[in-house]
Chain A
Amino acid sequence: MIERKDNIVVTGSGIVCGAGASVDSVWSTIESGQTAVADYEQWDPENWPVKKACEVKESNRDLVPERKLHKSISRTDMYGIYAGERAIEQSGMVQYRDELPEDEQPGYNDRSGIIVGSGGGDLRSNYDYLPLMQEVDRDLPAFGQNLNGMVTPMWLLRNLPNNVLCHVGIRAQLKGTNACITNQIAGGILSISEAAEAIWYGEADRVVAIGHDCLFEPESVFFYHKLGLVSDDTPRPFDQSRSGMVFGEGAGAVVLEKAADAEARGAEVLGQILGHGCVTEATGITEIGDSGDGVERAVRQALENANITPDQIGMICTHGNGTPASDRTEALALQRVFGDSMPPTTSMKWAYGHLIGAAGIADVVMTLEALRRKVVPGIGTLSQIDPDFASLPVSSEHQQPHSDTALIISRGFGGMNVALVVKA
């Protein structure tokens, strides 16, 4: 058993995705049973085999009002900065710092960390070079000679995978421990695991964790479709007729700190982080194993890390991305861990699509909200559960959590499987 001297609580959260730009608005979508997935508008879907996505509706100005910053960041960074700053705002951590005596503020900043799960950049930025290629007819020396003037000098900086880390850090003066995790889908939820560990380990007193991604663009859709991962149907996790994931985009964020600190400064507590697990199935870049072994090991590791037993979990938010293979292996693995006493189970991706690098952390934000409201939201698009795992306690109707503790699962490329245990 791991002995820990601090309980770690969540004192702020933020989210932006196609279903809304606040926890309340995203919750209303989920609660209504109506998916926010729709025909996309970024380009004309008419000839495309995939016509659906869940696009963020807010403009760049809505997300980051400072126009000056727009030159040095890309759209995915805007999501991350927006969600991160909502979480920071709600936590009151910056306001609290500003009220400290001036000589205590630098120390406070040095003990404030930031860990970001980043999708790794925005593929659309590559298209910035296309007009230059056109101009020089793909002649490489001419391409080099004509760079300046045709491509923004800020190109590289705009595309740093760690931009959110940098800009949220500068704006809130988070000068302590930091990391930018570029572990594709796993990165978002890992940012919370690592943020909690940084506090447990004594590296920081409070850490902002953010996951953001914006993979939805033509090249990604084309290749995800070729790989057989994406569906033109509304996402239907665990349904017999499910045929793949649907792209979402956005960001999620939480502020973690020591329970004692939160109490001392009178901060509202949204939940607690109990433990985490992280493994790979070693199946390569895009393949997943056929047994769900990674899910099972990550979940068992997280339960052990949280020092609880399966029967204490009152609700499960699965990865549930709606692809035939992932849902099947995830369901089978969970049945092996929980046996006949599996708690009410759901997936959020039917409502806001797959946020890729932001998926896991968005799910954590919304699971904390579900625990707070004592509602396990139904999977609005579920009509007939797959007979391969017919006893899986998923439903199109809302259920009641069996306790105040939840398990969240995130799976990604690289055979990654991450699990997190949280408490209301």
Chain B
Amino acid sequence: MSKRKVAITGIGLVTPLGNDTQSTWEGVVAGRSGVGPTQSFDASGFSTTISSEVKGYDAADFGASKKSLKFASRGAGFALGAAAQALEDAGVRPEASNAERWGLCVGAGMNSVTYDDLSRIHEHCTDDRGDLVPDGFLSPDFPGNPVDFSRVQCNAGLGILAKEYGIKGYSTSVHTACASGGQAIGTALKVMRRGTCDYILAGGFDSMINPMGISGFCLLGALSTDNDNPTGASRPFDATRNGFVLGEGAGFLVLEDFEKAEARGAHIYAELAGDGNSLSCYRITDSPPDGDGPIQAIHQALADAGVQPSDIDYVNAHGTSTKMNDESECAALTAVMGSHIDTVRVSSTKSSMGHLIAAAGAVEAVVCALGIEHGTAPVSANYKNVDPLCQVNVVKDQSVQMPINAALSNSLGFGGSNSSLVLKSPNFA
């Protein structure tokens, strides 16, 4: 059975490097850092005071309706901007006649109560030890607004996007932590191949740069504490790396049938050619040092795309800048690529934009599509000291102009989910 060929015809980005595709891509290529002291709240008391924030963003600039904005969390607001760009870019959008043939696959961040919401609960619903007093919710003073509650439902972003654009076909929301965005796009590819949809809006969005999100990561000790060196804090593969930098944002793609896209004269960035998924079954926070887990995901993605390891010119690594992730991922790449590991260029764009968690895989798939489009392997910023356990051909110092026939994008999540995507040049030969 031949697999349906699926084209990427629209892309959109909202990231710490810029509020649209163009400015983000320029930042990625320049290796500019989006990291700085956290501005959106007073982070001075936390062990990590830096983050990679989206700056000066307003979803209304992208035409989002007032009603959607009212219900949108910060992360869903990013989704509205990135999705609007992707649809505009593709030049197709759901119409009454084809809305049922449009699908929506999103990787959404974890439910996250806001500090303000929790403060209200604390004010009205606790005793003098801070233990919950349920009857407090019933107090006439408790400002219980159902909009606040709706906003944090696990598929709220999905509901908002479907309504905003009038998408009525297969719709789903996934969350496998840092692999969410990659899995959402992989799911979309499978749904396209099943023939359930003719078009899919697929992507990921997240924002955990708030007191509750930062608290969770600080408690875990996963974030870099290089508060005095924000722009150098995210340094994937570098021997001195010491944790990731939290980012936020969204990336979206429009997928459609390759032949039909060609027929309508659409601009095709790349073919979304392969998806691979595995579970490391090792620890919640890591995959094993020998790369078991990611190895299977990469193998499957290559096989699904019908390519050999030697066909891959560029790898956009998960590369979080934590000790264990980078070590495990490099071991996996080395195992899969064999002798090609010396040739294939590898970078982690988390070096410049930080870790966008549930949005990361989607944003990085877009970066791969742009890399193919522009013939550019983006730089892995801040890479100076070689780690003997990360012996891959890192794109160092500056971005490299080179034809990219096929690219691999990895996303490895807490919980052990590994997602790999293969994108091919539309002229792949």
CB–CB B155/A416 < 8 A: yes
CB–CB B42/A161 < 8 A: no
Q: Could you say which residues of chain B place their CB within 8 Å of the CB of A278? A: 170-172, 196
CB–CB A201/B193 < 8 A: yes
CB–CB A120/B175 < 8 A: yes
CB–CB A413/B155 < 8 A: yes
Partner of B415, one of A127, A133, A160: A160
Decide if A105 is an interface residue (CB 8 Å cutoff). no
Partner of A156, one of B123, B166, B217: B217
CB–CB A140/B115 < 8 A: yes
Give the one of B121, B128, B166 with max A CB within 10 A: B121
Decide if B346 is an interface residue (CB 8 Å cutoff). no
| Partner-contacting stretch, out of B84-92, B130-138, B260-268, B391-399 | B130-138
CB–CB B45/A142 < 8 A: yes
CB–CB B154/A161 < 8 A: yes
CB–CB A285/B150 < 8 A: yes
Q: Could you say which residues of chain B place their CB within 8 Å of the CB of A123? A: 111, 113
Decide if B153 is an interface residue (CB 8 Å cutoff). yes
CB–CB B130/A176 < 8 A: no
| Partner-contacting stretch, out of B6-14, B16-24, B156-164 | B156-164
Q: Could you say which residues of chain B place their CB within 8 Å of the CB of A338? A: none
Q: Could you say which residues of chain A place their CB within 8 Å of the CB of B196? A: 278, 301
Chain B residue at minimal CB-CB distance from A220 = B149
* Contact A285 to B415, CB < 8 A, known contacts A130-B130, A178-B278: no
Q: Could you say which residues of chain A place their CB within 8 Å of the CB of B110? A: 120-121, 159-161
Q: Could you say which residues of chain A place their CB within 8 Å of the CB of B293? A: 175
Partner of A141, one of B44, B172, B284, B414: B44
Decide if B51 is an interface residue (CB 8 Å cutoff). no
In the complex, A129→B43 CA distance in Å?
17
Decide if A7 is an interface residue (CB 8 Å cutoff). no
Smallest distance from the beta carbon of A75 to chain B beta carbons, Å?
15
Smallest distance from the beta carbon of B166 to chain A beta carbons, Å?
5
Smallest distance from the beta carbon of B1 to chain A beta carbons, Å?
8
In the complex, A127→B218 CA distance in Å?
18
A194-230 near B? 1/0 per residue, CB < 8 Å: 1001000101000000000000001100110011000
Partner of A161, one of B111, B125, B137: B111
| Partner-contacting stretch, out of A145-153, A378-386, A394-402 | A145-153
Q: Could you say which residues of chain A place their CB within 8 Å of the CB of B306? A: none
Decide if A177 is an interface residue (CB 8 Å cutoff). yes
Chain A residue at minimal CB-CB distance from B149 = A223
CB–CB A279/B168 < 8 A: yes
Q: Give residues 165-179 of B contacting A (CB, 8 Å).
A: 165-177
Decide if B190 is an interface residue (CB 8 Å cutoff). yes
Partner of A133, one of B100, B118, B173: B118
Chain B residue at minimal CB-CB distance from A301 = B196
In the complex, A135→B125 CA distance in Å?
15
Partner of A223, one of B111, B144, B160, B211: B144
CB–CB B219/A170 < 8 A: no
Decide if A72 is an interface residue (CB 8 Å cutoff). yes
CB–CB B172/A145 < 8 A: no
Q: Could you say which residues of chain A place their CB within 8 Å of the CB of B134? A: 43-44, 48, 218
CB–CB A157/B183 < 8 A: no
Decide if B280 is an interface residue (CB 8 Å cutoff). yes
Decide if A312 is an interface residue (CB 8 Å cutoff). no
Smallest distance from the beta carbon of B168 to chain A beta carbons, Å?
5
Partner of A153, one of B129, B130, B171, B221: B221
Q: Could you say which residues of chain B place their CB within 8 Å of the CB of A131? A: 129-131
Decide if A174 is an interface residue (CB 8 Å cutoff). yes
Decide if B428 is an interface residue (CB 8 Å cutoff). no
CB–CB B220/A156 < 8 A: yes
Decide if A90 is an interface residue (CB 8 Å cutoff). no
Q: Could you say which residues of chain A place their CB within 8 Å of the CB of B187? A: 179, 194
Partner of B132, one of A141, A186, A218: A218
CB–CB B46/A280 < 8 A: no
CB–CB B220/A153 < 8 A: yes
Decide if B119 is an interface residue (CB 8 Å cutoff). yes
* Contact A157 to B154, CB < 8 A, known contacts A147-B219, A162-B417: no
Known contacts A120-B153, A131-B129, A218-B125; can you find 16 more A-B pairs with CB under 8 A? A48-B135, A121-B111, A126-B113, A129-B212, A141-B42, A141-B45, A143-B45, A144-B215, A162-B417, A175-B296, A176-B296, A179-B176, A218-B137, A226-B146, A227-B146, A414-B171
Interface residues of B (CB under 8 A from A): 41-47, 67, 71, 99-100, 104, 108, 110-111, 113, 115, 118-119, 121-123, 125-126, 128-132, 134-135, 137-138, 144, 146, 149-151, 153-156, 158-160, 162-163, 165-177, 183, 187, 190, 193-194, 196, 211-212, 214-221, 277-282, 284-285, 293, 296, 300, 413-417
User: Sorted from nearest, which 9 A-B pairs have the closest CB atoms?
Assistant: A144-B45, A134-B130, A120-B154, A156-B216, A141-B45, A131-B130, A414-B159, A144-B46, A166-B415
A-B pairs with beta carbons under 8 Å apart, 9 shown: A44-B135, A118-B175, A155-B219, A162-B177, A162-B415, A162-B417, A181-B174, A218-B125, A223-B149
